[in-house]
C-alpha cells in the first residue's frame, strides 16, 4: 500500500546535502582520531624536537593527514540524501558512486547524537537503523536540528501509518509523557551508587597500557627517571600499596561520578505512543528510541546502595538484527518503582496483569558452584600452606571457603523463575539484584543443556533466545524445563493466539 | 477480534518425543572422522616440528612416547566422535525443528518455523565427495541458530523446501 506524500516531504524529495557544520565536524573528528592514534608519537616529537627521524615522521604524518582531509572534503561535497518513491536514498562517493536505498517501512529507529561542536552549530548527527541490519545502516555527520527533526517526524509518521495500515488499528496511546527527568541532585546520587569496581578495573588497565606505551616509546629514559624520582618509595611497598589503593579508590569514585554526569546530564526519559525515547549527555547528547512492538525484554537491577535509595537501572532490549545487543538497548539509570511499572505496563501490558507462579532452582546449583569456587581453591591453599610451611594460605582458606559457601547459598536462594500464561520473569543476584521479563511470544529458539552431573540429578539449564538476548535459567528440574519448552513452543506456534496477543 | 485467553491444561500440550526423531546420514560419520584425522595429522606435524626445534637434534629416543600419547588422544577423539554421532538426532514436526547433540554434555535446541529468518544449505569439498551437506537454520537470535551437519543433499533440500513453505505460510498477510 503506497502512502500519499506529505506537504512537508517536498524538501527531502530533492538531493539534500549535510549541514555546513559537517565540514568542521569532519575536521575535528580527524584531528581527534590523529591525537588518539599517534599521541605517543607526538610525545616523542615534543621530547626530541631536534631529531631528524622525528621530523621525517612528522612530514609523513602531515602528508597522510592531508590525504585523509581531501578525502573527507570530497565525501562531504558528494554525499546527499533524498526521499523518493517510498525510499530513503543516500548517495556518496566521487569516483565510485555508492547508492543506498532503504524502504521507509523498514526503518526502525532514527537516533540523534549531539557532540559539543554539534551544539555550537545547532546540528545533530543522525543514525538510521533498519530491521535486519548488522550495523547502523545510514548515518549523516551533521544536519541542522530543525531539518533533522522534520526528517525524523516524516519518517516516523510514515512508519506509524504503515503499521496502522498493516494491523488495521490506530494508536491511541498518549504522546510524549515524561517518565523520568534527572536533575543534578539525582544525577549525583545515581553517580555515587554506580559500580565503582568496574571503573577501578578500567583505570588499572588504562594506567598499565599508558605505562607500557610510554616505556616502549621513550625507552629507558622514562623508566629510569621514574625510578630516580620514585625509587626511594620502592623500599616501603606496604606504604606504596596503601597510598596506591587509596588513590585508586578515590580516583575511581571521582571518574565514575564524572562519567555518570557526562553521560546522563539532562536525562529525559519519555514514553510516547510508539515506544520510549531517552536523551541525555553533557558534552555529547545522545538520543535513543525504542519501538514498542520491537521490545524483546525488559531488565532492571539494583545494587545494595541503589536498593537503599530506591533506585533501579532500567534496560529495554529491542530486536531488529543489530550485531551487538548493547547497541539495541536503552539504558535509564535512576529509575524508581513507578517508572519501572510504567515501562513494564507499556511494553507488556498483558504480562503484568496476571499472577506469577514462582519456581526455585535446585540447591545443587549452590553446591556445584561452591565446589569449583570454594572447595577447589581451598584445597589448593591448604596444599600451598603445607608445601611452603606457611600459615597465611590457611588463614586465607579459612576465610574464603565459608564465605564462598554463604555467597553461593544466598545466590541460589535468590533465584526465582516466575511464569504466567503470557511470559516469564527471572530474578536473581547476591549483591546486585537482577530482574528480567519477557513474553513467551518473543522467543526465537529454545535450548536445554545438560552436563553429566545434571543428567545424574535430573536437572538442566534452559536458554530462551529472543531477538535481542538470551534468558538463561540454571539448574531446573528436567520435568519443569520440558513443561516450559512445550508451553513456550505452543504459544509461539499457535499463530492466531500470537497475532491476538501482539495487539 | 476479541481478545481470548482460555486456560490451557499443561498435560494437554503437544509434547516433544525424542522417539520420533531421525538420525543424520551415515556418510556424515565418515566425513567427521576424516576431518578428525586431518586435524590430528596436522597436530602430529606441529608436534614433530616443535620437538625438533626444542631439542635441536637430540632426545629422539623419547619421541615414540610422544607418538604414543598422540595416538592415544587420536583414538579417544575418534571414539568420542563416533559416540557423539550415535547420539545426534533431529525431529522435524509440523511447526518446528529440534536437534539433539552431545555425548557427555547434551544439548537440545528447538526452532519454531514461525521464527525462521532463512535456511541455507552448505557443502564443503569432503561433504561433496560423500554426497552430504549442512543445513543451517537462522533466526533473529544469533544464539538461537540451528545447524544439522550431515544430511544427504536431497534430504536437506527437502527439509529446506518444507521449512520455507511453512515460514511463508506463517508470514502475516
The ipTM assigned to this model is 0.88
Segment holding A444, helix H or strand E = strand A443-450
Whether chain B has a CB inside 8 Å of the CB on A357: the answer is no
Q: Is the minimum CB–CB distance between B11 and chain A shorter than 8 Å?
A: no
A466 part of contact set with chain B, CB < 8 Å: yes
The tens-digit pLDDT sequence of chain B (173 residues) is: 445 556 666 667 667 776 678 999 999 999 999 999 999 999 999 988 888 888 776 677 788 888 999 999 999 999 999 999 999 999 998 899 999 999 999 999 999 999 998 899 999 899 999 999 999 999 988 888 999 999 999 999 999 999 988 877 665 43
**Cβ–Cβ gap A493/B5 under 8 Å:** no
Highest mean pLDDT: which of A194-208, A276-290, B141-155?
B141-155
CATH class label, B89-170: mainly beta
Whether residue A358 is predicted with pLDDT greater than 70 in this model: the reply is yes
The residue in chain B having the minimum alpha-carbon distance to the alpha carbon of residue A499 is: B172
Please check whether residue B10 touches A, CB under 8 A: yes
Count, residues in chain B: 173
Q: Is A481 helix (H, G, I), strand (E, B) or coil?
A: helix
Contacts of A450 in chain B (CB under 8 A): 102, 105-107
Q: Which of residues 15-54 of B touch A (CB under 8 A)?
A: 15-16
Look at residue A499 in the predicted model and tell me its pLDDT: 44
Q: Which residue carries 528510541 as its cell?
A: A289
CA A230 – CA A241 distance, rounded (Å)? 13
- Name the residue ranges covered by the structural domains of chain A: 7-170, 196-264, 364-412
Confidence of residue A104 (pLDDT cuts 50, 70, 90): confident
List of chain A residues whose C-beta atoms are within 8 Å of the C-beta of residue B141: 444-445, 465-468, 470
Contact A127, A322 (CB under 8 A): no
> What's the CA gap between A446 and B144, in Å, rounded?
7
What is the average per-residue pLDDT within A366-381? 95
* Strands across the sheet containing A87-92: A16-17, A80-84, A87-92, A98-103
pLDDT at A1: 40
Radius of gyration of chain B (CA): 22
Nearest C-alpha in A relative to B109: A447
Please, are residues A438 and A424 in contact by the beta-carbon 8 Å criterion?
yes
Burial category of B25 from C-beta neighbours within 10 Å (exposed 0-12, middle 13-18, buried 19 and up)? buried
Amino acid at each position: 500500500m503506497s502512502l500519499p506524500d506529505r506537504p512537508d516531504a517536498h524538501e527531502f524529495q530533492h538531493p539534500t546535502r549535510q549541514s555546513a557544520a559537517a565540514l568542521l565536524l569532519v575536521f575535528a573528528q580527524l584531528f581527534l582520531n590523529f591525537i588518539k592514534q599517534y599521541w605517543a608519537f607526538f610525545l616523542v616529537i615534543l621530547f626530541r624536537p631536534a631529531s631528524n627521524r622525528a621530523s621525517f615522521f612528522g612530514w609523513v604524518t602531515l602528508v597522510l593527514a592531508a590525504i585523509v582531509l581531501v578525502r573527507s572534503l570530497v565525501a562531504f561535497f558528494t554525499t546527499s540524501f533524498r526521499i523518493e518513491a517510498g525510499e530513503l536514498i543516500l548517495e556518496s562517493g566521487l569516483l565510485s558512486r555508492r547508492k543506498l536505498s532503504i524502504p521507509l517501512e523498514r526503518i526502525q529507529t532514527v537516533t540523534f547524537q549531539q557532540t559539543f561542536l554539534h551544539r555550537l552549530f545547532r546540528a545533530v548527527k543522525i543514525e538510521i537503523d533498519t530491521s535486519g541490519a548488522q550495523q547502523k545502516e545510514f548515518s549523516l555527520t551533521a544536519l541542522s536540528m530543525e531539518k533533522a527533526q522534520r526528517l525524523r517526524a516524516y519518517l516516523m509518521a510514515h512508519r506509524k501509518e504503515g503499521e496502522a495500515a498493516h494491523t488495521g488499528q490506530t494508536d491511541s496511546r498518549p504522546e510524549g509523557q515524561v517518565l523520568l527527568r534527572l536533575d543534578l541532585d539525582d544525577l549525583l546520587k545515581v553517580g555515587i551508587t554506580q559500580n565503582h569496581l568496574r571503573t577501578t578495573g578500567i583505570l588499572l588497565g588504562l594506567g598499565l597500557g599508558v605505562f607500557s606505551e610510554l616505556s616502549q616509546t621513550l625507552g629507558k629514559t622514562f623508566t629510569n627517571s621514574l625510578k630516580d624520582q620514585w625509587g626511594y618509595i620502592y623500599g616501603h611497598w606496604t606504604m606504596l600499596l596503601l597510598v596506591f589503593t587509596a588513590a585508586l579508590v578515590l580516583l575511581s569514585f571521582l571518574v565514575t561520578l564524572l562519567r555518570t554526569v557526562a553521560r546522563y546530564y539532562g536525562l529525559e526519559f519519555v514514553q510516547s505512543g510508539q515506544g520510549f525515547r531517552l536523551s541525555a549527555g553533557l558534552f555529547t547528547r545522545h538520543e535513543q528510541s525504542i519501538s514498542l512492538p520491537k521490545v524483546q525484554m525488559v531488565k532492571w537491577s539494583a545494587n545494595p546502595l541503589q536498593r537503599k535509595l530506591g533506585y533501579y537501572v532500567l534496560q529495554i532490549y529491542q530486536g531488529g538484527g543489530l550485531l551487538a545487543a548493547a547497541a539495541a538497548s536503552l539504558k535509564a539509570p535512576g529509575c524508581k518503582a513507578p517508572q519501572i511499572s510504567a515501562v513494564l505496563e507499556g511494553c507488556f501490558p498483558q504480562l503484568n496483569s496476571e499472577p506469577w507462579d514462582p519456581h526455585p532452582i535446585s540447591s545443587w546449583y549452590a553446591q556445584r558452584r561452591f565446589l569449583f569456587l570454594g572447595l577447589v581453591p581451598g584445597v589448593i591453599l591448604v596444599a600451598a600452606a603445607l608445601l611452603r610451611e606457611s600459615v597465611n594460605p590457611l588463614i586465607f582458606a579459612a576465610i574464603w571457603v565459608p564465605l564462598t559457601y554463604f555467597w553461593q547459598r544466598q545466590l541460589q536462594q535468590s533465584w526465582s523463575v516466575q511464569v504466567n500464561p503470557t511470559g516469564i520473569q527471572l530474578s536473581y543476584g547476591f549483591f546486585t539484584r537482577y530482574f528480567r521479563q519477557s513474553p513467551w511470544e518473543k522467543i526465537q529458539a529454545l535450548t536445554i543443556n545438560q552436563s553429566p552431573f545434571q543428567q545424574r540429578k535430573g536437572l538442566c539449564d534452559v536458554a530462551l533466545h529472543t531477538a535481542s538476548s538470551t534468558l538463561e535459567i540454571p539448574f531446573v528440574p528436567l520435568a519443569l524445563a520440558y513443561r516450559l519448552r512445550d508451553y513456550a513452543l505452543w504459544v509461539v506456534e499457535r499463530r492466531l493466539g500470537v497475532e491476538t496477543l501482539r495487539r | 477480534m476479541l481478545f481470548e485467553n482460555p486456560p490451557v491444561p499443561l498435560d494437554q500440550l503437544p509434547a516433544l518425543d525424542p522417539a520420533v526423531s531421525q538420525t543424520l546420514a551415515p556418510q556424515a560419520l565418515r566425513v567427521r572422522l576424516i576431518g578428525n584425522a586431518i586435524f590430528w595429522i596436522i597436530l602430529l606435524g606441529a608436534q614433530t616440528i616443535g620437538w625438533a626445534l626444542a631439542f635441536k637434534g637430540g632426545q629422539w629416543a623419547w619421541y615414540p612416547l610422544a607418538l604414543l600419547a598422540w595416538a592415544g588422544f587420536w583414538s579417544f577423539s575418534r571414539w568420542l566422535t563416533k559416540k557423539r554421532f550415535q547420539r545426534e538426532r533431529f525431529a522435524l514436526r509440523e511447526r518446528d525443528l529440534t536437534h539433539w547433540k552431545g555425548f557427555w554434555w547434551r544439548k537440545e535446541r528447538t526452532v519454531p518455523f514461525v521464527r525462521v529468518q532463512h535456511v541455507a544449505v552448505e557443502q564443503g569439498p569432503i561433504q561433496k565427495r560423500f554426497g552430504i551437506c549442512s543445513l543451517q537454520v537462522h533466526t533473529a537470535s544469533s544464539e538461537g541458530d540451528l545447524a544439522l551437519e550431515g544430511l544427504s543433499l536431497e534430504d536437506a533440500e527437502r527439509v529446506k523446501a518444507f521449512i520455507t513453505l511453512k515460514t511463508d505460510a506463517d508470514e502475516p498477510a
